[in-house]
């Protein structure tokens, strides 16, 4: 289901058109199109294996699509110039643990050929990380690594911030810092693309979401418009379960669980 809502801009930070990606016989992403306008937080939701990371990796230039196109600020992402406008924080924290945080940020700075170290230092202060910048990344906690990745993703002042599961493993204080950062970033006209399994955060933080199912678009719209379009459902999670047919699966699985547990309770042998 697609809810057509007027976008509050004629300018698109990012345009994704009819994107498709196959891994051999697996069609991971099929005919996906969406636009991001300045100031928008856009969420990509979907069950495991629905194609979220594949889309993010195409947008960040880590993977080539089989079909379709992606433009950032009107420039095709195959043109390396487009990378200057993109900041990316991946989900799996691939940080070089043998470096200190300062060495890591300097590496980013040198790759980007822009003097963005002052921004990095100010961000580290705001995120409460400045006292630990000289320490080896191997001594960082999960939350500290996420903060360091965020600094590396935004220190060159990108227009499009791409975040894979940004809230995963963050404590309430770190989550609230991240939400502030997103609000200030989008308030200054940046666009944010988030892939997440966290329905509550998506409902609260995303202006629009796309729900993916088997690599295809199952629903697109603002959380409130989607709840309404699905018959006034109480939450985005309910919309997600219906759009991805997981509600039917859940009923079946509960029956199977009930049967399995009562089977065990009767003391019969497991075969």
Ligand X SMILES: Nc1ncnc2c1ncn2[C@@H]1O[C@H](COP(=O)(O)OP(=O)(O)OP(=O)(O)O)[C@@H](O)[C@H]1O
Contacting positions for ligand X (CB under 6 A): 23, 26, 28, 46, 48-54
Backbone angles phi, psi at 97, to 5 degrees: -70, -15
**26 vs 76, which CB is nearer to ligand X?**
26
Residues 6+ apart with CB under 8 A from 246: 47, 240
Q: Which is nearer to ligand X, 27 or 73 (CB)?
A: 27
Q: How far is CA 52 from the centre of its chain?
A: 8
* Closest distance to ligand X from the beta carbon of 170 (Å): 18
How far apart, in whole angstroms, are the C-alpha atoms of residue 105 and residue 119? 11
Least gap, CB of 1 to ligand X (angstroms): 19
CB of 24 vs ligand X, minimal distance in Å: 7
Closer to ligand X by CB, 186 or 244: give it.
Answer: 244
Min dist CB 83 to ligand X, Å, is 21
117-126 and 142-154 helices cross at what angle (nearest 10)? 140
H or E element at residue 203? helix 199-205
Q: Cβ 21 to ligand X, closest distance in Å?
A: 8
Answer yes or no: are the C-beta atoms of 246 and 254 closer than 8 Å.
Answer: no
The least distance separating ligand X from the CB of residue 36, rounded to whole angstroms, comes to 18
Q: Is the Cβ of residue 52 or residue 201 nearer to ligand X in the bound state?
A: 52
Give the number of other CB atoms < 10 A from CB of residue 38. Answer: 16
- Which residue, 47 or 190, is less far from ligand X as judged by CB? 47
Q: What is the rounded distance in angstroms from the CA atom of residue 192 to the CA atom of residue 256? A: 40
Comparing CB distances to ligand X, the nearer of 155 and 236 is 236
- Are 171 and 143 in contact by the 8 Å Cβ rule? The answer is yes
Nearby residues of 200 by Cβ (< 8 Å), 6 or more positions away: 237
């Amino acid at each position: 289901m697609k809810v057509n809502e007027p976008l509050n801009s004629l300018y698109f930070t990012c345009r994704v058109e009819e994107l498709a990606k196959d891994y051999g016989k697996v069609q991971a992403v099929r005919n996906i199109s969406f636009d991001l306008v300045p100031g928008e937080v856009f969420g990509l939701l979907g069950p495991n294996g629905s194609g979220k990371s594949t889309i993010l990796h195409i947008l960040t230039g880590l993977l080539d699509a089989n079909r379709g196109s992606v433009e950032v600020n009107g420039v095709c992402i195959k043109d390396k110039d487009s990378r200057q406008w993109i900041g990316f924080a991946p989900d799996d924290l691939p940080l070089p643990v043998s470096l200190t945080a300062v060495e890591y940020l300097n590496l980013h700075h040198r790759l980007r050929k822009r003097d963005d170290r002052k921004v990095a230092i100010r961000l580290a202060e705001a995120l409460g990380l400045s006292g630990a910048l000289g320490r080896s990344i191997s001594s960082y906690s999960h939350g500290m690594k996420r903060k360091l990745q965020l600094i590396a993703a935004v220190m060159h002042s990108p227009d499009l911030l791409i975040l894979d599961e940004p809230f995963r493993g963050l404590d309430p204080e770190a989550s609230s810092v991240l939400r502030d950062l997103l609000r200030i970033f989008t308030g200054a006209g940046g666009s944010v693309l988030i892939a997440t399994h966290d329905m509550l955060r998506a409902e609260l933080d995303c202006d629009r979401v796309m729900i993916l199912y088997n690599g295809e678009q199952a629903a697109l719209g603002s959380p409130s418009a989607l709840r309404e379009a699905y018959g006034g459902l109480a939450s985005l999670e309910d919309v997600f379960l219906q759009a991805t047919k997981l509600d039917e699966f859940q009923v079946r699985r509960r029956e199977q669980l009930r049967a399995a547990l009562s089977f065990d309770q009767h003391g019969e042998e497991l075969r």
